[in-house]
Amino acid sequence: MPIYEYLCAGCGKHFEVTQKMSDAPLTTCESCGGKLEKQVSLGAIVTKGDAPACPAGTRSCCPGCTHNHH
Q: What is the pLDDT along the chain (70 residues), one digit of tens a residue?
A: 788 999 999 999 999 999 898 999 999 999 999 999 998 766 555 555 565 555 545 555 555 566 555 4
**Res 2: pLDDT:** 83
46 inside domain: no
φ/ψ of 40, rounded to 5, equals -85, 130
Domain that holds residue 9: 3-38
**Res 67: pLDDT:** 57
49 inside domain: no
**Res 56: pLDDT:** 45
32 inside domain: yes
**Res 11: pLDDT:** 96
What gap in Å lies between CA 24 and CA 51, rounded to an integer?
Answer: 29
Q: Count up the domains in the chain and report the number.
A: 1
Q: Is the pTM of this model over 0.95?
A: no
